[in-house]
Amino acid sequence: MEFLPRFFDPPNRSFFLFGPRGSGKSSWVRNTCKGALVVDLLRPEVFREMSARPERLAELVLADPNRQPVVVDEVQRVPEVLNVVHDLIERGTGLQFILTGSSARKLRRGGVDLLAGRALNRSLHPFMAAELPGFELDRALQIGTVPIVVASQEPEDVLRAYASLYIDEEVRVEGWARNVGDFSRFLEVVSFSHAAVLNVSNVARESQIERKTVAAYIEVLEDLLLCFRLPVFSRRAKRQVIAHPKFFYFDAGVFRSLRPKGPLDRPEEIDGAAFEGLVAQHLRAWIAYTNGDFDLYYWRTRAGVEVDFIVYGEGGFWAIEVKNTGTVRSQDLQGLRSFRQDYPECRPIFVYRGNRRLLIDDILCVPGEEFLASLRPDDDLIDG
């Protein structure tokens, strides 16, 4: 598969570029930073050299200062090189550093301060629909949009190996989970919480693991960028809202690969969670790549009235409900109506699996494929 341009717009100064394994960080560097000095810490010989003598980075950089930018790939593998980067920036060399990583956990646990603001934090996400020529919603719901999966001739095999890759290379090697078997079982159990309110106690009970251990495992997933949690929207709340966050794996295909399936599992239930998760990952990418100040939430009252996503920021305020249905029923819009009563400033959007754009009770109903394909950084979230 040839390189596909990404919506990610790099800053002109030094920055961290975080993203899950396989999200295309190295590919982006190779195709965008022509002539860069690349220090690839995934290469065993480079890893050994930099682990033994982190100051070797300064020797490489200063020997050829015209090679710009300086890229350190998978920087979390040798956090000590950040001290060298810090020193080079402080010297006023004028060099730009691009520091890629698939985990901020080891950096933080190692006491590294992420250069104390001298480098910006940026992120690369799975493909957005508009980045993919010939985007097909049904296919994306099956295999997700992680570049390493999309580019594969056998995407299902890559997905099956994806979780194992993280367990072997991150969790086991770094010793973040003492019992890899427990962690593997936890990965499956927590998949039932995808696109749902997260109850840590329930996950602990189902996986037969202590609650504090499950809480630690969820933090590991977040630090490895494999999942994210959405907080509840509570600004100017007129009703009592719940406190628990909502849980998502970072990609719909990865969710499907981890979600156990059997005779008692309804396909439409799994499809619905995958659809909501696909919308969630697109909204996160849109926010990350847009030059606006937005945050992503969900809304759920103690009475059980819910809206799947709230996008709130200086540039706009949207309430988005996602349903894996081909028709729009009045009860499907009830959550949006309730939210709009409390927040008349919002723009309500209903995303569904039908093929017609509708306007019902001033609520814009948009086909899922159209909604996802229209998301582009620095454009409005939806036109119309």
Q: What is the DSSP string of 188-219?
A: HHHGGGBTEE--HHHHHHHHT--HHHHHHHHH
Q: What is the CATH number of the domain that holds 21?
A: 3.40.50.300
Does a structural domain hold residue 193?
A: yes
Is 381 inside a domain boundary? no
Domain count, the chain: 2
User: Which strand ranges, in their side-by-side order, compose the sheet holding 246-249?
Assistant: 196-197, 246-249, 227-230
The pLDDT, as a whole number, for residue 265 is 77
- Model confidence at 164, pLDDT cuts 50, 70, 90, reads confident
**Whether residue 114 is found in the same domain as residue 148:** no
Q: Are strands 316-322 and 347-352 parallel, antiparallel or unpaired?
A: parallel
Work out the average pLDDT over 265-273.
90
Would residue 168 count as lying in a domain?
yes
Q: Per the domain annotation, does 5 fall within a domain?
A: no
Give 301 or 164, the one with higher predicted confidence: 301
124 touches 221 (CB < 8 A): no
Q: Do both 34 and 182 map to the same domain?
A: no
Shared domain for 106 and 172, answered yes or no, is no
Does residue 7 form part of some domain? Answer: no
Residues 39 and 86 in one domain: yes
Angle at 319 between CA 315 and CA 320, to 5 degrees: 120
pLDDT band per the 50, 70, 90 thresholds, residue 116: low
Question: Where among 89, 124, 159 does a domain terminate?
Answer: 124
251-261 pLDDT, tens digit per residue, is 999 999 999 88
Is 361 among the domain residues? yes
Say whether pTM exceeds 0.85: yes
Average pLDDT, the chain: 90
Q: Tell me the residue range of the domain where 170 lies.
A: 130-374
Q: What's 170's DSSP letter?
A: I
Same domain? For 160 and 179 the reply is yes
Q: Are residues 195 and 284 in the same domain?
A: yes
Collect all residues with Cβ–Cβ distance below 8 Å to 112 and sequence separation of at least 6: 79, 82
- Would you say residue 1 lies in a domain? no
Domain assignment present for residue 383? The answer is no
Q: Within this chain, do residues 352 and 249 fall inside the same structural domain, yes or no?
A: yes
pLDDT of residue 175: 64
What pLDDT, on a 0 to 100 scale, did the predictor assign at position 106?
66
Taking Cα atoms as reference points, which of 147, 116, 137, 195 lies closest to residue 19? 147
313 with 215, same domain?
yes
pLDDT interval class at 285 (50, 70, 90): very high
Last residue of a domain, one of 124, 148, 163: 124
Residues 192 and 321 in one domain: yes
> Residue 360 in contact with residue 366, Cβ under 8 Å?
no
Say if residue 145 is in the same domain as residue 42: no
Shared domain for 230 and 198, answered yes or no, is: yes
Residue 245 confidence (pLDDT) above 90 = yes
Q: Are residues 240 and 348 in the same domain?
A: yes
pLDDT over threshold 60, residue 110: no
Point out which residues pair with 247 in neighbouring strands: 194, 229
Instruction: Please say which residue of 124, 150, 173 terminates a domain.
Output: 124
User: What pLDDT sits at residue 240?
Assistant: 86
